[in-house]
A and B are shown apart, each in its own frame.
Chain A
């Protein structure tokens, strides 16, 4: 399988994320093998044969020891996953760029890969950190924009069509720039396809924006008020972020479904995303079953790392929810403030009109103008608050829900594993062994999926943007008041 790989166009090794790992277990072979390639040369073409010798540059040869005791490996792996590990090796930097061939992740590898794979991803993780530290760029070179919402159709059958524009230089796409029209159910369809493919293997598929029947109905019915435009705007921004996140994920990028979504002008209607369709109901039933399941499964959490992470995520989720609620309150109050300022501006203007004292009258009208401008400012700020900050938080909350989904899947896997164990004990068949192999790999991927770095960067950029918007507001405020001051002084 490694032979299928062609040197990717962006072969500067910068994006050597763990995408390798995620591309199915079979990648591990090539991945591990690349570890042997000379540290300085990023030349991916020189993929050596699958030599699984453990002369990888792992700093801890101990971890490569074929060890049936997975617990130990995990324990060590736990250490290394910590990003502050001092044992970062720059040698690991030249990873080959993403494999181009789409690889179905369900291919199960023979168990021999296991132990090696344990270490590899770990090392990858660290190296990835470094790579990201060195080269801060997103070398994917694919930009996605969602724009131009337009209403198509009429009445209850109407829908909003969004234009999805892609600019890329990746060779897997036919053109460099193309755009297609998609509707919301198309996005949901894409998400469900990706989810079915990847979720049970342990990836975190970026969550799609939620369906909102109320909002959409309003739009359909044609209410042209501000709430529906807001709703459309919110949705558009959310869809854009969704696509951007999906694309950033290298494995998902390879997916043919995604490509089809981005490229082809016609897409089969994803009917089973409709809320009331058969599939929808099935989903609801599944969800209910899952919930019950969660309560009954009593998983003996043998992996400390997971336990810790799960706890972390629980806490994080709670915190984020609280933060989100507070930010929403902030947005609401700012909107109120802007409305009140507008009202005050009007009455100040009227007061200025009726004022006898001419200079004072002028000053008051100026005050009214200033206040009006400030009100506009507040409104804009409220939008910024909302779109930048609050939406980000809700995205993260949903992301965490997705992570939890992965955890849940893991639990299910564990359950299966448990069953398999029992079966194994009873039967000792090859099949059972295969199932046994399943779990650890998935766990590995899940671990790596917890992409702390991504989150850090993402969050930071957004926060910076938000703060900059605040700075802008303040500066504008300064300008307005400075303009007003001489007027005030001029009152005779």
Chain B
């Protein structure tokens, strides 16, 4: 099929397959029953996050990546990414929808979408004034295989000091990494859609329907210069908003709740971003550590084949031990990545979305205040009072509506955060325990074997 540039022949096309039919649905919390597949056991009843089923790797018992979102839905609109194909540097997602809503012409259909189209959808939401009071689910990050690709290339260029087995192992590692990144990006995109689909207000957007159903390419080109510039301007505006939100402009916040939320979110966002970076670093060191075991194991096994007597079996056993330890460490690293890093990343983006909500609200407040002032002025001058009044009332209503919705959303955000963290931390702890126990067992066995020998 389409080959990836510079890819080793084994990875030309990675697929994200979904077995639509059989597997035991996880969906105890989701009425309607189908749609989410699970590969792992879920501990909580009630609404639970979607879990990916992975293309089963025979030797590995990798935990499926679980994105830290807990959704409630009424099943009227179910969306999932049933397939994904990576070609060159693009990923094509197959979005599968099942719905009994009248808007759609069929009850079940699929379209192929690319990352840019997801971004388009996201922007459509953020630009829409109607949704100003809602935390828009953060856009999925662009699929980034750059790092992985570089590594593969470097490996391919070859290092003569590396033996064939080592090379094979490293290649395997890298392929695993590539696959993991691939899975993650699919998960991110899926969660984005699912949050949209389950949100009572957002799901009713026309753009969403277009996105889900329109068979042709949405011809969303990548942003051209003008739009990029526009985005740049928007960022500037945003930083003005930041000033606003940090109270520099002297705007008085009357509502205690929002005052609290504001300070909280600001701080939280910076700290979670910090934590993200550091968690990433931990994960990377862990991976390096796991990879270090490869040459050790190789050297030990070559020592073992060389030796002629007792040490031989010891060496070979040690080589095996390190090989297995490597796999375990690798799994610890990837689990940490999934449960901790990913979660932190997602909530960082979500926190950013919440902050955006607050900006919008504050802007509405500013508008409201301005409208008040305008009204006063108009009353003073006794001109265009009616217009000013209506305007002011509009602003007021808008502001209040926004505030209500924002309050609701923020509390929801908190609850969502709590449960997602809970779930992931529990899973993280359990996985770490599992791996530590497995390592201990492995080490103990090897110790026994070593000691037992003369």
Residues A363 and B425 in contact, CB atoms below 8 Å apart:
yes
Q: Which of B282, B418, B436 contacts A340 (CB 8 A)?
A: B282
Considering the complex, give the chain A residue whose CB is closest to the CB of B333.
Answer: A337
Q: Which of A460, A470, A475, A477 contacts B314 (CB 8 A)?
A: A460
A402 on the B face (CB < 8 A): no
Please tell me the size bucket of the interface on A: 35 or more
A103 on the B face (CB < 8 A): no
Q: Which of A326, A351, A492 contacts B268 (CB 8 A)?
A: A351
Assembly CA distance A347 to B276 (angstroms):
9
Considering the complex, give the chain A residue whose CB is closest to the CB of B264.
Answer: A356
Q: Which of A84, A323, A488 contacts B429 (CB 8 A)?
A: A488
Question: Which of A25-33, A157-165, A185-193, A312-320 lines the interface with chain B?
Answer: A312-320
Please tell me the size bucket of the interface on B: 35 or more
Q: Which of B161, B278, B296, B433 contacts A478 (CB 8 A)?
A: B433
A330 on the B face (CB < 8 A): yes
Considering the complex, give the chain A residue whose CB is closest to the CB of B279.
Answer: A344
Assembly CA distance A82 to B314 (angstroms):
18
Assembly CA distance A364 to B340 (angstroms):
11
Residues A488 and B425 in contact, CB atoms below 8 Å apart:
yes
Residues of B within 8 A of A319 (CB): 299, 302-303, 306
- Could you mark each residue 432-454 of chain B with 1 if its beta carbon is under 8 Å from any beta carbon of chain A, else 0? 11001101100110110011001
Q: Which of A322, A350, A452, A459 contacts B309 (CB 8 A)?
A: A452
Assembly CA distance A363 to B419 (angstroms):
12
- Could you mark each residue 60-75 of chain B with 1 if its beta carbon is under 8 Å from any beta carbon of chain A, else 0? 0000000000000000
Residues of A within 8 A of B309 (CB): 83-84, 452, 456
Residues B414 and A347 in contact, CB atoms below 8 Å apart:
no
Q: Which of A341, A459, A478, A489 contacts B282 (CB 8 A)?
A: A341
Question: Which of A93-101, A422-430, A461-469 lines the interface with chain B?
Answer: A461-469
Supposing A344-B282, A478-B436, A485-B429 touch, asked if A467 and B443 sit within 8 A by C-beta, the answer is: yes
Consensus secondary structure, chain B interface:
helix
Consensus secondary structure, chain A interface:
helix
Residues A351 and B271 in contact, CB atoms below 8 Å apart:
yes
Residues of B within 8 A of A460 (CB): 311, 314, 450
Interface residues of B in 285-341 (CB under 8 A from A): 285-286, 288-289, 292-293, 295-296, 299-300, 302-303, 306, 308-311, 314, 318, 321, 325
Residues B433 and A481 in contact, CB atoms below 8 Å apart:
yes
Assembly CA distance A437 to B447 (angstroms):
48
For residue B168, give the distance in angstroms from its CB to the closest CB of chain A. Answer: 17
Residues of B within 8 A of A456 (CB): 309-311
A354 on the B face (CB < 8 A): yes
Residues B288 and A333 in contact, CB atoms below 8 Å apart:
yes
Residues A351 and B310 in contact, CB atoms below 8 Å apart:
no
Residues A347 and B292 in contact, CB atoms below 8 Å apart:
no
Q: Which of A333, A459, A489 contacts B422 (CB 8 A)?
A: A489
Residues B433 and A334 in contact, CB atoms below 8 Å apart:
no
Supposing A344-B278, A354-B268, A478-B437 touch, asked if A337 and B285 sit within 8 A by C-beta, the answer is: yes
Residues B426 and A343 in contact, CB atoms below 8 Å apart:
no
B267 on the A face (CB < 8 A): yes
A482 on the B face (CB < 8 A): yes
- Could you mark each residue 359-377 of chain A with 1 if its beta carbon is under 8 Å from any beta carbon of chain B, else 0? 1100110010000000000
Residues of B within 8 A of A351 (CB): 268, 271-272, 274-275
- Could you mark each residue 237-271 of chain A with 1 if its beta carbon is under 8 Å from any beta carbon of chain B, else 0? 00000000000000000000000000000000000
Supposing A350-B271, A474-B440 touch, asked if A360 and B432 sit within 8 A by C-beta, the answer is: no
Residues A337 and B282 in contact, CB atoms below 8 Å apart:
yes
Residues B450 and A489 in contact, CB atoms below 8 Å apart:
no
For residue B258, give the distance in angstroms from its CB to the closest CB of chain A. Answer: 13
CB within 8 Å of A: which residues of B? 161, 264, 267-268, 271-272, 274-275, 278-279, 281-282, 284-286, 288-289, 292-293, 295-296, 299-300, 302-303, 306, 308-311, 314, 318, 321, 325, 414, 417-419, 421-422, 425-426, 428-430, 432-433, 436-437, 439-440, 443-444, 446-447, 450-451, 454
